Chains A and B, each alone.
Chain A
Amino acid sequence: MTADPAARQRRPSWIEQRTRMGPVINAAMHVRVPMSAKTMYFGGIAMFLFVIQAVTGTLLSLYYKPTPEAAYKSVQLITSDVNFGWLIRSIHHWAANLMILFVVLHLARVFMQAAYKYPRELTWVVGALLFMVTLGFGFTGYLLPWDQRAYWATVVGTEIAGSVPFVGETLLLMLRGGADVTGETMGRFFGIHVLVLPLSLAGLLGLHMILVHQLGLANPKRPEPRVPTKEFEEEPLRPFFPHYIVDELVAWYVLLAVLVVLVSVFPAGLEEQANPLQTPAHIKPEWYYLGVYELLKLVPRIIGILTPIVGIGLLVMWPFLDRRPEVRMRRRKLAVGGFSLIGIALVALTVWGYVS
């Protein structure tokens, strides 16, 4: 052991000596965060929820049996007999709902702050893809308990997909693995839910984070110049670590508290086992599809089908359609107003779907 403290301080750690990851980690810990940036932590919470989903989903898969004959009983077993099974399942259930909610909130925040504009267009596109993958998680995971609600919501959901012009029939057969919702459907939904979507989401999320890291957070008060200006270079920044990370941690803890209350007071339930011969009186999809479902009932079918497809197309391509550099909300009345109206309409349709 050397007696020179300075020499000891300069000496790399045991891990660093064997990984030499120090520069990479140091680089990762430096993200450009303008003092005026306001993320509201929605994106970070969504990512935190994804990690929760990955962990709880893995634990659930230890007991879950993806066949129509065994799925329901295995979910019963997890909920009633497996130690803390109810907790894991309830967390997975509520975190899934919260994840969709926070992805939507994150998307709305980015839109309102025009954070999708130069140079973050691709970050937006990847984010929109992440949103769709998240919805895919909800759609495929919903069937897995194989209770009445799961089964019939999937029947309705796949029928909507089957109404898509030109490719609807093929899409329906692909989704269901046949004409009806059967064990074939469950097999492919399970495969998509635990393999295809997690890998897709992990890949897209990684890309999203790299882009965020490289581009930094957007300033909601002024657009980013295409050629760095003095003002941009001298913009006051907030250290990503530990300052911003501590803020995120507080948000995650608060979210965790909400999650704990939800799973304790409203644990995940289970209806009667799926019965393809007994159609329930009122079939409704989950809340995140309810708005679109109600729209389908209110307008001609073709319009109801095409509206969300066109909407998703617009969503993905929006940064390339709105190319004005302006980022302030009050100067973007058309975009902000239109987006708000669509949001209000979707919320109204969702509420209407619940009460009707």
Chain B
Amino acid sequence: MGLFSSLIQRKFKDIAGKRYERILKEYRDFLLTEEEMVLPEIKSVLIPLDRFIGEIPVEVYETLSAYRDAKFVLLYIIDIHVSYMIEQTLGVEASEEFKKKEKEEGMKLLGKISRNFEALGINPQLRLFFGDKSRDIISLAQKHDLLVLSKAYGSEITKTHPLSPVVLKIVQHVNIPVIVY
């Protein structure tokens, strides 16, 4: 330590005492650490959608626009279990009707969200299939760097249950960053 450094540190100790350590500790409670501050490199973003999601908030679009160069996948999964249950209880015809309506609704939502992304200069890939929402997303998430999920994905949310159980299961099983909006 040079002469100047030791003089500064001596003076600093005299003037500030232990106040700085206390202030630093208080700041650490709510500021990100060096490690947390390093933003992960995002090359691929997975955005699952379903009938419980009407719209993606503007703030999420703004956040995602930072990853303009990444590949975006808008994914609409129609619950295969629901379709099976309808087939078992109401018959094949009702099940086919459900699938048709779900597909239409899915394509409509994918188109609407896709246009919003295109307005930001992002051209997302669109995918729609029948499957198990939580299992398929957990599996697909391995091929992506960021998962963007609505709190209402897979189930309606209420005041007493502000987070869908499907979302809870997904976030507990994926090991990539997740934005829950």
Whether chain B is bound by chain A comes out as: no
Chain A residues engaging chain B, CB cutoff 8 angstroms:
none
